[in-house]
Structure 1
Amino acid sequence: MKSFSKWSGYLFTIFLCLSHFSELVQAESAACRPNIVLILSDDQAWNDYSFMGHEMIETPALDKLACESAVFRRGYVPVSLCRPSLMTAITGLYPHQHKITGNDPPKGMDRRKLLKHIKSVDCLPEMLGKIGYKSFQSGKWWEGNPNLAGFTAGMTHGDPKRGGRHGDLGLKIGREGLKPVFDFIDECGQDPFFLWYAPFLPHTPHNPPQRLLDKYRQYGIPIELAKYYAMCEWFDETCGQLLNHLDEKCLSQNTIVVYVTDNGWIQDVPENEQKRRQKKGRFLYAPKSKRSPYDGGIRTPIMIRWPCHIAPADYNTLVSSIDIAPTLLNAVGLKPTESMQGINLMDVMCRCGYTDRDAIFGDIYEHDMIDIDDPASSLKYRWCIQGDWKAIFPSSRLMGESPELYYIKGDPFEQNNLISEYPEHARYLLKLTDQWWDAGSQ
């Protein structure tokens, strides 16, 4: 009996040691996991950066990030509107999957009813939190209190009774400094973190610092362009401050930085002073940009930097913001959910830019949702890009509109509709689009 007692004591001690060892291994594993910083520009065209070829806008911080990153110059977001696009970034799902298709619910509806959708899907902060990540929301955020998506901390309260709509207090980030972000990073210590940096930049109001406005005014361009260009550089400056803070804290080597914009913007310029007065206070974006199915609304550079893991390179591969979530989950050892249709961009890099995916897709909706549970009710367009060809298919709701077809390699600003010359190719792309999502069968 004494012998049994002695051995049971040994076994219990070994069990405790093994349990403690497991905790140590888990702690060490968590400490080695990469931090993640997701930078989201707000209302910026795909070519409004120095590294993307703009002749006037200067973006030195993002140029430097591009030199250190895998740059996908043919990146896209499925939808050209803020809220559904950001929801795609946080879930890895298309709008018709996560059901946030517009910025606002139908007129008169309590906007809090939309929050059931964020509660019903898996979100990056929540998934990362299960393996020890702390997470922080700053900037644009539509889905109520950020803890609904699993953020452990954030700037936004999300209460409609206190002005909560698209970020409230979070919209101060960048425009009024980055202290909340810096404080979060510093407080994480050895814990891995996920940072959502989505400043209200270069979004309207276009009220850049005077020094930047004066810089672009000297080129003799319309005031609307000068203000917008200055906003792009102001946003770039804040990105530089964030990236410099990672350097100063010796965190850059073990941090994945991802860059994408939520949707495009082409600054509209009124033809004369009378039209300028008429448009005062309104969003001045051109028709083929925000809220449209054209590249001015949906195209964006997508960049990923992870020193010692990703070699800096330029890729001409078609990629989408639906690829961001599965890429990040794979990077930290997690599996994407079955609902995520994106691909792991790390695999694309390992294959020198090659992917088995044949085409990418997206869908455009009304600004105000018609039925918050039925995406097809608000659908305006579906689009498909395969290789250098792009097709746009209007919903049957849009009477009088016809499909469009563009050869975007030679016509990147979609000026020449080739649908009448290549109707058979348009029909083929429609078949691919229906296989992706047949909205008429919903």
Structure 2
Amino acid sequence: MRKVIFKLALLILCVLFQTSCSQSRHNIIIINVDDLGWKDVGFMGSEYYETPNLDYLSSLGMVFTNGYASASNCAPSRACLMTGQWTPRHGVFTVSPSARGKSEDRKLIPIKNTHTLSPEHETLSEILQENGYVTCHAGKWHLSDNPLEYGFDINIGGGHNGLPKSYYPPYKNVNIEGGKDQYLTDLIMEKAIQFVDTVQKPFFLNYSPYAVHVPIMPVDSLLPKYEKKASWNGQANAEYASMVDNLDRNIGLLINKLKKRNLFDNTLIVFTSDNGGLYGVTRQKPLRAGKGSYYEGGIREPFFFVLNGKIKQNIKSDVPITNLDIFPTILDYAKIKDPSLKLDGSSLIPVLEEKANKLERPLFWHFPVYLQAYNINDNETRDALFRTRPGSVVRKGDWKLHYYFEDDGIELYNLSEDIGERNNLATTNPEKTEELLKLLKKWWKETKAPIPKTQNPEYLNNN
């Protein structure tokens, strides 16, 4: 009841001071690309993919070289971003079901997955909407049938589907008007720009294109450019490159519209990806593995923040962050205080505004389910059958520990010396192993993280 009264009071205050709020509040845009890898953009070093608009935009703010998704595949990462909470708190652990791969290869019964985000969780969009923001979701949602039920005023193409059946019309499973001959990424951005062009109040745009997720469907006009280019560090897929290029072009159109409407300087822009690049389509060398894995290639992302007058230009930070930090950072910049919220991330304003150069906290990941491999003959995961088996991960400082529930397996890496996670130090550094394992066990208890323990009777121990 107290929570309801508090929310009501905030709404009344916002209505009373609507004019002054509108003049001073920052607009907010999250660009959350699907399956874009850490090095799939020029500003992170790729010499194959061409992303001039993102390279320019990143130069206007702070780039985080140790930026992470809070999960290694789509739905849980998006649930974490929208709720600001670790996976054990909302129960979205994977893209349903949790029992992926062959049953005879799974030693444990995985934890049941939550397919639809519970409306009991307060989302970032709901908080902003309650505080006077006009809210628009554009693109992939993947958390429920309808984002309008989670604090969005406008929905452009978002539903429970995790990918389009086609980027060319008819899009089949993407509910969106128009697009007789338009590539889906182009159409979604066209409608997002229409929103930006007409909105009169402070706004929140959650721009989350289906690109560059499979199906890999090239943009024909861009394909020849990449077919002629030499490969670079395992990046050579011209069809995928055309999708990255086209996405970049669309983001350029959005930036141009913001500038034309004199909105750019007062808009906080956050850019990231929901998980690592799809191994086999793209590579993130020297990072190990890709989407679905909890090695660095599956969770480390391109990540930057831009806000003119608050965040200096051309700044890089090696502070480890995750997309859980987006929620509290946005609330701070929007000057929204809500003591009823329980957020697991940290506001990044001290780092973004160079009042601090580190955040003393561990980062955690929890994946008590199975995710099968795409190609057992070409992967960099722990075993060929699964991108990951049930486990948890903790990073503290430069140290990262993996723990696996099937066999109590432990891997320890010093990322400052071994970013590719090739040299397991668990036995040679037992003190650090024990320190991080204690942190992880304490975190399991605090978050009531479900631990898979039940043996699978269909398991065949053939390995």
Quickly name the TM-score band, shorter chain normalised: 0.7 to 0.9
- Would the aligned equivalents of 1:141 and 1:167 in 2 still touch at CA under 8 Å? no
- Would the aligned equivalents of 1:156 and 1:167 in 2 still touch at CA under 8 Å? no
The match for 1:176 is 187
For 1:273-288, list aligned pairs within 5 A. Answer: 288=289
Q: 1:347 to 1:170 in 2, by over 3 A?
A: farther
The match for 1:215 is 225
Q: 2:17 aligns with which of 10, 16, 25?
A: 25
Per mean C-alpha deviation after superposition, the further-off stretch among 237-246 and 35-44 is 237-246
Q: Are 1:361 and 2:364 counterparts?
A: yes
The match for 1:119 is 119
Q: 1:330 to 1:67 in 2, by over 3 A?
A: same
The match for 2:265 is 253
Q: 1:321 aligns with which of 320, 323, 326?
A: 323
Q: 1:390 aligns with which of 374, 387, 400?
A: 400
Structure 1 residue 21 displacement after superposition: 12
Q: 1:223 to 1:330 in 2, by over 3 A?
A: closer
Scaled by the length of structure 2, the TM-score of the pair is 0.76
Give the secondary structure class of the aligned counterpart of 1:403. Answer: strand
The match for 1:153 is 154
The match for 2:197 is 186
For 1:135-154, list aligned pairs within 5 A. Answer: 135-142=135-142, 143-154=144-155
Structure 1 residue 416 displacement after superposition: 2.1
Query: In the TM superposition, what whole-angstrom CA distance separates every residue of 1:104-143 from its partner, at most 9, and x where no partner exists?
Result: 2468xxx99844x330101111111112111111111112
Q: 1:50 aligns with which of 42, 51, 54?
A: 42
Per mean C-alpha deviation after superposition, the further-off stretch among 432-441 and 134-143 is 432-441
Query: In the TM superposition, what whole-angstrom CA distance separates every residue of 1:21-57 from its partner, at most 9, and x where no partner exists?
Result: 9966332213321111100111121122111112222
Structure 1 residue 351 displacement after superposition: 4.5
Identical residues among aligned pairs (%):
30
Give the secondary structure class of the aligned counterpart of 1:257. Answer: strand
Query: In the TM superposition, what whole-angstrom CA distance separates every residue of 1:292-345 from its partner, at most 9, and x where no partner exists?
Result: 111101011321111112212211111111100000011111125542021110
Structure-2 separation of matches of 1:345 and 1:223: 32
- Would the aligned equivalents of 1:202 and 1:231 in 2 still touch at CA under 8 Å? yes
Q: 1:391 to 1:168 in 2, by over 3 A?
A: same
Aligned length: 389
Q: 2:76 aligns with which of 79, 84, 89?
A: 84
For 1:126-137, list aligned pairs within 5 A. Answer: 126-137=126-137
Give the secondary structure class of the aligned counterpart of 2:431. Answer: helix
Cα RMSD of the aligned pairs, angstroms, is 3.2
Q: 1:315 to 1:361 in 2, by over 3 A?
A: same
Query: In the TM superposition, what whole-angstrom CA distance separates every residue of 1:343-363 from its partner, at most 9, and x where no partner exists?
Result: 110122344443442321112
Query: In the TM superposition, what whole-angstrom CA distance separates every residue of 1:140-191 from its partner, at most 9, and x where no partner exists?
Result: 111221112110110246378xx99x982369752435221112112212x1
Structure-1 separation of matches of 2:13 and 2:352: 36
Q: Which has the higher helix share?
A: 1
- Would the aligned equivalents of 1:42 and 1:262 in 2 still touch at CA under 8 Å? yes
Q: 1:140 to 1:425 in 2, by over 3 A?
A: same
Q: Are 1:332 and 2:334 counterparts?
A: yes
Q: Are 1:94 and 2:86 counterparts?
A: yes
Q: Are 1:429 and 2:436 counterparts?
A: yes
The match for 1:341 is 344
Structure-2 separation of matches of 1:341 and 1:308: 28
- Would the aligned equivalents of 2:76 and 2:93 in 1 still touch at CA under 8 Å? yes
AA aligned to 2:247 is F
Give the secondary structure class of the aligned counterpart of 1:236. Answer: helix
Give the secondary structure class of the aligned counterpart of 1:174. Answer: helix
AA aligned to 1:206 is I
Per mean C-alpha deviation after superposition, the further-off stretch among 323-332 and 335-344 is 335-344
Structure-2 separation of matches of 1:167 and 1:141: 13
Structure-1 separation of matches of 2:426 and 2:238: 37
Structure-2 separation of matches of 1:255 and 1:349: 15
Structure 1 residue 413 displacement after superposition: 2.0
Q: Which has the larger radius of gyration?
A: 1
Structure-2 separation of matches of 1:409 and 1:87: 30
- Would the aligned equivalents of 1:317 and 1:353 in 2 still touch at CA under 8 Å? no
Query: In the TM superposition, what whole-angstrom CA distance separates every residue of 1:79-119 from its partner, at most 9, and x where no partner exists?
Result: 10101101111111111112111212468xxx99844x330
Structure-1 separation of matches of 2:223 and 2:391: 37
Q: 1:411 to 1:422 in 2, by over 3 A?
A: same
